[in-house]
Chains A and B, each alone.
Chain A
Amino acid sequence: MAAILPSDPAATQVAPVRTGRRWPLWLLALFTVALLPFAIGSDYLFSAILVPLLILSLAGLGLNVLTGYAGQLSLGSAAFMAVGAFATYNLQLRLPGLPMPLAMAGGGIVAAGTGLVFGLPSLRVKGFYLIASTLAAQFFIPWLLSQYSWFSNGNDSGVVTAPPLKLGPLDLDSPAGRYALTLTIVALVTWGASNLVRGPAGRAWIAVRDMDLAAAAIGIAPGRAKLFAFAVSSFILGVAGGLWAFTYLGTVEPAGFDLDRSFQILFIVIIGGLGSIRGNFLGAAFIVLLPVGLSIAAGVLAGSQVDPALIENIQKVIFGILIIFFLIVEPDGLTTLVDRALRTQFRWIGSRKSGNQE
């Protein structure tokens, strides 16, 4: 049973500490990459790839705060996204005139409160016992949302169409507008979260993750740090859920926020890299682009008669193998791979970047 005691060194090395400041060049590159799609202007690119990619990155960030930084495993991410989506919808519905970004922030806050409640067991249990609590959220919340029609404003099917996206005089209902809105919100939240994880809160999370007894000994309250991580994580997931419903799907329904979504977010975090901000984007890009790539490859290899169910199953096997592969070969995820590649290829960029990583 030693394996789950906090004194086991292997159990504590979930992810490295990354504290280094980013080279400004990164920012410039990112800015260019973010604006490039406007020059291309393909609707498919916007609404089928970039918008879900950004939102899933944000969801990954939410889970990463909890799992990567604070070390609390969760399988209920999608439930908190659902809370965010429904809260955003209800805030807009019941408080007419509330600007949409505020409604989304409000959705995040409601999700944060829900996250706090389901995070309470983390005060008593840890490790994968927490799975039970987060899975309880994953099964209970969508049930609640579809059971009581108040949440969907009396809609029998539980599926409601999201209202058109407007920000004051700006009409954001076009694919490019949705992308711009998503990009802005994702960038803002990411900026806030990356400041948070580098500040005292993030230090406290990492300390609790690495060894909660030691953290308590140096004056960090592990319980408070964990609950705060649950709140922040759920806030980010809630905003991601609001975006998912409003800018990606265009409908608000519990069905899209099932256990598979939670797993998907978990995979983004693992593949991208636990305890990394950038990793979420790399992981999400991987998760979104892999199916696209696979179906193109299948089309090239076998013509158009490939059974979509077969592709889906092959995808599952590949996902499974990749997860195990990453856990074995590169537990720190794509972000470390990219770092290493950059360090060897462009020494002048990577010189200051990696902070106090061993």
Chain B
Amino acid sequence: MSFFLNVLVGGALAGVMYALVAIGFVLIYRASGVFNFAQGTMILFAALTFANLVEMGAPMLLAFLVTFALLIGSAFLTERLVLRPLANRSVITLFLATLGLSYIFEGVAQIAWGTQVHSLDIGLPDEPVDLFGLSISSFDLAATAIAALLVVGLALLTGRTGLGLALRAVAADPLAALSIGIRQERVTVIAWSLAGFVALVAGLLWGARSGVQFSLALIVLKALPVLIIGGFTSVGGVIVAGIVVGAGEKLAEIFLGPVIGSGIENWFAYVLALLFLMIRPTGLFGQRDLARI
């Protein structure tokens, strides 16, 4: 039983990371209706830049700020060069554009910083901690705490501030938002910058855990089913879904793996998402008006 619980908790903590990545999606989706496939390579770009700056001797805070500044710059460029010319085009077109964007991020990051794996130490200890009789990595606990802080911060930002109101207004009705004087392009840039910030944090946490390397960009593929299960518009739903996916795939790998073969982790989340699409297309907490019929 305690082994089961350990697997469950370990998976759930990994799931918090998935959720962190998926929140970047939610931010952009809510503000500009774009399903941003480039979120994964943004993480790669951020983590590679940060790791290289630190290796070049920059203090962590400076490296963090420089990387964040670069991400804000890329948010500006994306809005100006990609999203604005594609205004009012179909969701699929915008998605394909972010696929192109994803290639650009990946290529630029690897041209600038090379393709070798970097290890990253962000000063979080990684020791087993005994918690209610379960052995949990202190790194996972700290990462979860950071993710939770970020989520609360984002929830307050989008729920309690004028900026959040503008974000939600643009998401609800872009035309009406424009007509009452909200600067849509500015809102878009802010949303993409925030998503960049989330990508940076996710990249640092994930990179410190498993090395800064190309596979970081592939987290995006895990975030997608998380989004479908959690619902595209709900930050809370995404967190729950992330935990469900993280715990579910670990449990499946360990308890189902010996029966049907290993490597289940790679597709488990998708099959789960498929079931959700068939049974509950709006996700756990998604809004009903996502007419997916």
Contact = CB atoms under 8 A, between A and B. Distances in A.
A4 B29 CA distance: 12
A161 B161 CA distance: 63
Interface string B43-75: 000000000000000000000000000000000
B266 A1 contact: no
A136 B273 contact: yes
Interface string A4-23: 11001011111000000000
A11 B91 contact: yes
A316 interface: yes
A1 B267 contact: no
Contacts of A4: 91, 290-292
A317 B290 contact: no
B106 interface: yes
Contacts of A125: 277, 281, 292
B256 interface: no
Given A127-B91, A143-B263, A317-B108, A323 B270 contact: no
A263 B99 contact: yes
Interface string B91-134: 11101110111111111101100010000000000000000000
B96 A317 contact: no
B95 A317 contact: no
Contacts of A11: 90-92
B27 to A, nearest CB: 16
A3 B89 CA distance: 9
Given A317-B107, A317-B108, A124 B91 contact: no
B146 interface: no
Contact of B100 (A127, A139, A140, A321): A321
A136 B224 CA distance: 11
B224 A135 contact: yes
A35 interface: no
Given A133-B274, A324-B82, 20 more contacts: A1-B287, A3-B33, A10-B90, A14-B90, A125-B292, A127-B92, A128-B95, A129-B277, A140-B270, A147-B260, A148-B261, A266-B96, A309-B110, A309-B115, A313-B110, A314-B107, A316-B103, A317-B111, A320-B107, A321-B104
State the 3 A-B residue pairs at the shortest beta-carbon distance, nearest first. A323-B100, A320-B103, A316-B107
